[in-house]
Amino acid sequence: MTRTQMADGLSFSRVVLGFWRVDEWKLDTGQLIRFLEECLDLGITTMDHADIYGNYTAEGIFGEAVKKRPDLAKKMEIVTKCTIVYPSGNIRVKYYDSSEKWIVGQVEKSLACMHIDHIDALLLHRPDPFMDPGEVAGAFDRLKKEGKVRHFGVSNYLPHEYRMLKSYCNVPLITDQVELSCLRMENLENGVIPMCLEERIHPMIWSPLAGGKIFTGQGEVEIRLRETLELIRKETGAESIDEIAFAWLFSHPAGMVPITGSGEIELVKKPAAALRYQLTREQWFMIWTAVKGHKVL
């Protein structure tokens, strides 16, 4: 599998395995180990986590596999996120916490849960309107100095939010993890992807299949998109339309790094297979036009 250089000394597999719903995969530790081995055999070495995934259980589920097979973690790049706080116990409302104390504390919990000694990339999960960027910069400096986190980035940040935080940080922000798919193109249009090109960073992409709506959606747009994806599938020789949906992302010059969230190896193989197909400009804009419902100006 091809790889993407994210920063000096750090590259990601072009397809990332996401653990958002690992608790729903219903794999015991032995089955998860075998699944991770299969993913590594495909060349998928980058693992995407967050402290809140699985209602705070996902990192621990992954960690049980690493505890039994610590050699697996040595073959991986580990990404995790923090700053979202869910209601529980005395916490009455969902909120964001970007304080230095919270970020450092959550990193230490993530390291313990996953049985690892460092995180390759820590991302702030959501923009925080109550953020003190100086505190964030302090947390990053401390975690970097202590060797607990190698690199830093953000998730779901708009360009002005990314640039504001960057202006305070002594370390580079190496990625912005955002939603993007054939059906959800907002981050192509709101400046996020152009900002990534400007900053020479590669965006990580979540929900690259729009939560399965490219298969199941019954609206006019979804039906029109499926027809177009099927046409291009036949032209390219791809096995399924999801391969074309991933190829649409891979073909973009921003060097997008999509996350697949499946616990089934046959579905994980789909984005890996999509790397074989480089869409033409015409094919790329056929998909764009099918979703927008009009030609480019």
276 belongs to a structural domain:
no
How many angstroms separate the Cα of 273 from the Cα of each of 15, 133, 206, 297? 10, 41, 18, 33
Tokens matching residue 277? 């197909």
> Does residue 110 form part of some domain?
yes
Q: Identify the pLDDT of residue 272.
A: 97
- 87 pairs with which residues across the strands? none
The per-residue pLDDT for 162 is 98
The pLDDT score that the predictor gives to residue 241 is 98
Burial (Cβ within 10 Å: 0-12, 13-18, ≥19) of residue 135: middle
Question: Which pLDDT tens digit goes with each residue over 141-174?
Answer: 999 999 999 999 999 999 999 999 999 999 999 9
Residue 49 lies in a domain: yes
Q: Is residue 135 part of a domain?
A: yes
The mean pLDDT value for 251-261 works out to 98
> Tell me, what's the pLDDT at 63?
98
17, containing H or E segment: strand 16-18
Quick one: pLDDT at residue 14? 98
Q: What pLDDT is stored for residue 139 in this prediction?
A: 98
pLDDT tens-digit map of 103-133: 999 999 999 999 999 999 999 999 999 999 9
Asked if residue 199 is part of any domain, the answer here is: no
Could you give the number of structural domains in the chain? Answer: 1
Band of pLDDT at residue 197, cut at 50, 70 and 90: very high
Distances (CA, A) of 110 to 13, 46, 117, 194, 285: 22, 16, 10, 32, 41
Number of CB atoms found within 10 A of residue 153's CB: 25
- Match 């970097």 to its residue by tokens: 144
pLDDT at 289: 98
236 found inside a domain: no
Q: What is the pLDDT of residues 32-63, one digit of tens each?
A: 999 999 999 999 999 999 999 999 999 999 99
Spatial CB neighbours of 142, under 8 Å, sequence gap ≥ 6? 100, 104
- pLDDT, position 40: 98
106 assigned to some structural domain? yes
* Whole-angstrom distance, CA of residue 242 vs CA of residue 76: 25
pLDDT at 253: 97
Two structure tokens written together for 100? 């230095």
In a domain, 54, yes or no: yes
Distance CA 13, CA 121 (A): 14
Give the whole-number percent of the chain exceeding pLDDT 90: 99
How big is the chain by its Cα radius of gyration, in Å? 19
Q: Are 128 and 96 in contact (CB under 8 A)?
A: yes
Please give the pLDDT value at position 152: 98
| Token couple for 232 | 């291009």
SS (H, E, C) 101-154: HHHHHHHHHHHHHHCCCCEEEEEECCCCCCCCHHHHHHHHHHHHHCCCEEEEEE
pLDDT given at position 210: 97
- pLDDT tier, 198 (very low <50, low <70, confident <90, very high otherwise): very high
- Round to whole Å and give the CA distance between 129 and 152: 19
53 is catalytic: yes
pLDDT of residue 133: 98
Provide the CATH number for the domain around residue 12: 3.20.20.100
Domain of residue 32 covers 3-179
